[in-house]
Structure 1
Amino acid sequence: MSPRKYTVEDETKKEGCFLGVRHLQIVLISCMAGICFGKNVNFSVAIVAMTNTNANSDIPTYNWTDTNLLISSYYWVTFPFQIAAGIASEKYGSKWLLAIAAFISSTFTAALPLMAQFGSWGVMICRIVQGATQAMVFPSAFNLVAKWAPVPERTRLCSIMFTGSSVGTIISMSLSGFICASTMGWPLVFYVSGAVGYTWLIFWLMFGSNCPQDHPWISDKEKEYILSTQGTNVPVKVIIIVTLLIIALRRLDVTEGVFGPAAALIILAAFGKEATATMIILLLVIAVGVNSAITSGFMMNNTDIAPNYAATVNALTNGGSIIFSIVGPIAVHLVVTDTTNIYQWGLIFYITAAFYLVAGVFYLVFGSAEVQAWNSGGTKKELPAP
């Protein structure tokens, strides 16, 4: 039985759908995103304690000189695994893909202190496996959002999903520093991260689902509401209005998310030595905080232009960010030969701002929210006049 026709009145008539199973799915995905980001950034904190030979004598420390390689090794194989995860999640569903990724990632996270005893190469193996498995998360998550989020709620629910990554980063970095300074030392950072990952896995196996049609507890009303907004029987007028509104919102968010940080970094570089500590902190907080607007900007375009292939499109677009994640530290190493030289850091800020500006202008010119013809495997057809 095909879902009933979606109308504009459904926007204001959502009885029984205000809080449902779809929100639980998004919360679970958001938690997974936070855990993944947390597992990545906590290593950057723990590695300081791991290589501090003057720290607690009861905790093993190592005299490694390849710490930059250990940090960047997380990204070495993420791109091919993202592509594979995108294709696999679209073909087989995301539930078990996320479960496998969570299990393997958590296992190698908890095993990192043990592997460290075999040298930096042991840690590098753990980091590479972490990167490979956690690369599966966001393509799978976008596939789930495309299936679970009603079109009118898609931006809001996806923003909630991305909020988890920011919250996870903040919590993980704060707790990691506290744990490293405790009597248990840096190994506890990885034990806790692994335990949190296993805990999430239990909840995901209990409550997660590939799509509304497969969930055993979802109400018929909520299922009908979700499917009705994703069908092909949406009135043409609604399609036109929603598409125009979506691209306007996407461009507004991108404008805020890229031009804001660019302005903050340019100001910071221009002031140089005259910038006070308070000013530096404020500008960096603005740069990072305002940048979060892109989560509801271009990052949501995956589900706008190709809801059926949102996972693969996300994997492809993430490829660029992975490249910069690898090249960025190398560029800083080449440019900043003296870490106390404020002008060398200023050049880094100018270069970063330039990338922001170029990317923002490119998106404003070419960005679109219209579903592409290849999303359904057919030829693009002109919409009839409303």
Structure 2
Amino acid sequence: MDNKQYQVNPIAENGKTKGFKFGTRHAQALLMFFLLTVAFAIRICLSVGIVAMTDTTSSFTPTYDWDNKSTIMSSFFWGYMLTQIIAGQIAKNFGPKIPLCIAMTICSLFTILIPTMAQLGSYGVMICRVIQGMTQGFFFPGVANLLGKWVPPSERSRIGTFVYAGFTFGTVISMPITGWFCNSPLGWPSAFYFFGSLGLVWVGVWLFLGANSPSEHKLIRPEERDYIEASLSKKEEPKDVRTPWLSFLKSLPLWSLLLTHMAQNWGFWTLVTEIPIYINAMFDLDISSNGLLSAVPYLVMWISTFGYSSLADYLINRGILRTGTVRKILNSIGLYGPAVALIFMSFFGNSSLAVTMLLLILAVGLNAATVSGFNVNHVDLSPTHSGTLMGITNGFAASMSFCGPLLVQLVVTNEEDHEQWRIIFLTAAAVQTLGNTLFVLSGSGDVQKWDPSYDEVHRRESNKVNKNTQYGNNEKV
């Protein structure tokens, strides 16, 4: 490998370069944030919309008498898990800019088609959901690839968390907006038209303002480009880097990351797809109130992510704790905490609406810590292959995303029976506890040996340790 491709700017290495208050990398992060916001708004709107679509007492038509709602909800993930790994490879080899444009365009069009396809029956909606899933399979690998090229390590927790907070924000806005549309004279189809149109708007903006890397962006300041590339220990991404599949297979940190990602998805998607159905069954609220209340836990989650990310960067940049330790602590808050809340939910969730909301806020709000835990760990392990790693873990984790709702379909035969819901909540708590325990025991925050930048990063870290020893640890680690 050409040594010129991996160089360290001495200014960036000793910590004196601080970058820019708002630069091109922040604009890219904002675009990625809105990508995930729109993507999750599209993904989540059916969670509330299906309540209105199947309400045969509603004055708005058409409505449908479907008894396979959880299966419809899970069908998104049938397509989602198919494209993850190939999406990571495409992002690494060709860049994610154009694939993201194509994927969002198709996803948006099939969102707009849902009201028409619903006339064919529940299977018509499932077809749209499967295609939505296949296209959204490109989003997280693409974003992980972009973060690996655009974000300096010292800013990774904050910017990475901000970007990934888009999926929470999309959930927050989707539920009440969908509820409002469903309760308006426009009816439930208008929600799908609205969010599908937002996706097409994003495509137009990204096409003109997005870029695969700092070196490809035409408007970036040279100083900022040099700062980013130097902090990442490379000047240019090699074009011929092979994907080390065998090393992936042997990597214990990657296996633990995969398993905790699967555990997270089981709990998260069980709640996000079933909360509106559960609240409606237990407390019989109107669709607008249901959508608003269902969004409250995710609003708390969205706000909490920024506190956790600031804490993570503070602990890492000050050298108080190693990156891997910070990831494990925050991941433990994000999975053990919700597991405890779900245990209480299984016994007291139907006692009152106030108790239900408090427990849901705790379960979902604490889960925000995982965004600064496992969610950015792919870039920690391998900046070069982060998109592929995200594709691997997110692809397998997608199976948990539809297993959770399918378990609801099998177990909850009477939506008003809290005893049946107890099985769902306790199962999710057990899966989250097991997944995080494996991550704590075997996870890592270090660049792995199979990443091309390993030698340079290792040398840089060794130099920092030597300087800290010589000067009394006056430099930031």
Instruction: State the Cα distance separating 1:9 from its structure 2 match.
Output: 4.3
| 5+ long unaligned stretches in structure 1 | 234-238
After superposition, the Cα gap between the structure-2 partners of 1:14 and 1:240, relative to the gap in structure 1 and judged at 3 Å, is closer
- 1:4 aligned to which of 1, 5, 9: 9
**2:343–2:426: 8 Å Cα contact kept in structure 1?**
yes
Provide the C-alpha distance between the structure 1 equivalents of 2:317 and 2:155, rounded to a whole number of angstroms: 17
Provide the C-alpha distance between the structure 1 equivalents of 2:453 and 2:13, rounded to a whole number of angstroms: 28
**2:74–2:406: 8 Å Cα contact kept in structure 1?**
no
For 1:214-363, what aligned pairs fall within 5 Å after superposition?
Answer: 214-231=216-233, 245-271=322-348, 275-363=351-439
**What is the identity, as a one-letter code, of the residue corresponding to 1:250?**
R
**2:79–2:132: 8 Å Cα contact kept in structure 1?**
no
SS of 2:10's equivalent in the other structure is coil
Query: Which residue of structure 2 aligns with residue 75 of structure 1?
Result: 77
Provide the C-alpha distance between the structure 1 equivalents of 2:46 and 2:349, rounded to a whole number of angstroms: 31
After superposition, the Cα gap between the structure-2 partners of 1:22 and 1:80, relative to the gap in structure 1 and judged at 3 Å, is same
SS of 2:322's equivalent in the other structure is helix
Provide the C-alpha distance between the structure 2 equivalents of 1:124 and 1:348, rounded to a whole number of angstroms: 23
Tell me which moved more, 214-223 or 242-251.
Answer: 242-251
Number of matched residues? 377
Provide the C-alpha distance between the structure 1 equivalents of 2:121 and 2:414, rounded to a whole number of angstroms: 29
Provide the C-alpha distance between the structure 2 equivalents of 1:202 and 1:151, rounded to a whole number of angstroms: 30
After superposition, the Cα gap between the structure-2 partners of 1:308 and 1:244, relative to the gap in structure 1 and judged at 3 Å, is farther
SS of 1:375's equivalent in the other structure is coil
Instruction: State the Cα distance separating 1:107 from its structure 2 match.
Output: 1.0
**1:258–1:294: 8 Å Cα contact kept in structure 2?**
yes
- Superposed CA deviations along residues 325-377 of structure 1, whole A, max 9, x for unmatched, are 11112222333344333333233222221112111211111110111122229
Query: Which residue of structure 1 aligns with residue 445 of structure 2?
Result: 369
- Superposed CA deviations along residues 19-71 of structure 1, whole A, max 9, x for unmatched, are 101011111111110111111110122222222333235x3223334333322
Provide the C-alpha distance between the structure 2 equivalents of 1:268 and 1:65, rounded to a whole number of angstroms: 25
Provide the C-alpha distance between the structure 2 equivalents of 1:249 and 1:144, rounded to a whole number of angstroms: 23
Tell me which moved more, 44-53 or 127-136.
Answer: 44-53
SS of 1:253's equivalent in the other structure is helix
**2:144–2:390: 8 Å Cα contact kept in structure 1?**
yes
Instruction: State the Cα distance separating 1:84 from its structure 2 match.
Output: 1.0
Determine whether 1:54 maps to 2:33.
no
After superposition, the Cα gap between the structure-2 partners of 1:19 and 1:303, relative to the gap in structure 1 and judged at 3 Å, is same
Query: Which residue of structure 2 aligns with residue 180 of structure 1?
Result: 182
**1:6–1:229: 8 Å Cα contact kept in structure 2?**
no
Query: Which residue of structure 2 aligns with residue 236 of structure 1?
Result: none
Query: Which residue of structure 1 aligns with residue 287 of structure 2?
Result: none
Determine whether 1:42 maps to 2:45.
yes
**1:243–1:369: 8 Å Cα contact kept in structure 2?**
no
Provide the C-alpha distance between the structure 2 equivalents of 1:112 and 1:337, rounded to a whole number of angstroms: 26
Instruction: State the Cα distance separating 1:226 from its structure 2 match.
Output: 0.5
**What is the identity, as a one-letter code, of the residue corresponding to 1:31?**
F
Instruction: State the Cα distance separating 1:288 from its structure 2 match.
Output: 0.4
- Superposed CA deviations along residues 181-225 of structure 1, whole A, max 9, x for unmatched, are 111111111110111011111110111000000001100111111
**What is the identity, as a one-letter code, of the residue corresponding to 1:251?**
K
**1:176–1:189: 8 Å Cα contact kept in structure 2?**
yes
**2:322–2:445: 8 Å Cα contact kept in structure 1?**
no
- 1:110 aligned to which of 105, 109, 112: 112
Determine whether 1:28 maps to 2:51.
no
Provide the C-alpha distance between the structure 2 equivalents of 1:49 and 1:228, rounded to a whole number of angstroms: 53
**2:70–2:409: 8 Å Cα contact kept in structure 1?**
no
Instruction: State the Cα distance separating 1:322 from its structure 2 match.
Output: 1.1
SS of 1:374's equivalent in the other structure is coil
Instruction: State the Cα distance separating 1:120 from its structure 2 match.
Output: 2.9
| 5+ long unaligned stretches in structure 2 | 236-315, 467-477
- 1:211 aligned to which of 206, 210, 213: 213
Provide the C-alpha distance between the structure 1 equivalents of 2:10 and 2:448, rounded to a whole number of angstroms: 22
**What is the identity, as a one-letter code, of the residue corresponding to 2:377?**
N
SS of 2:66's equivalent in the other structure is coil
After superposition, the Cα gap between the structure-2 partners of 1:69 and 1:277, relative to the gap in structure 1 and judged at 3 Å, is closer
Provide the C-alpha distance between the structure 2 equivalents of 1:101 and 1:227, rounded to a whole number of angstroms: 28
Query: Which residue of structure 2 aligns with residue 88 of structure 1?
Result: 90
SS of 2:55's equivalent in the other structure is coil
After superposition, the Cα gap between the structure-2 partners of 1:272 and 1:280, relative to the gap in structure 1 and judged at 3 Å, is closer
SS of 1:344's equivalent in the other structure is helix
Provide the C-alpha distance between the structure 1 equivalents of 2:458 and 2:232, rounded to a whole number of angstroms: 19
TM-score, normalization: structure 1?
Answer: 0.90
After superposition, the Cα gap between the structure-2 partners of 1:373 and 1:3, relative to the gap in structure 1 and judged at 3 Å, is closer
**What is the identity, as a one-letter code, of the residue corresponding to 1:194?**
G
Task: Give the share of equivalent positions with the same residue, in percent.
Answer: 36
Provide the C-alpha distance between the structure 1 equivalents of 2:63 and 2:410, rounded to a whole number of angstroms: 28
Provide the C-alpha distance between the structure 1 equivalents of 2:133 and 2:389, rounded to a whole number of angstroms: 19
Query: Which residue of structure 2 aligns with residue 127 of structure 1?
Result: 129
SS of 2:9's equivalent in the other structure is coil
SS of 1:19's equivalent in the other structure is coil
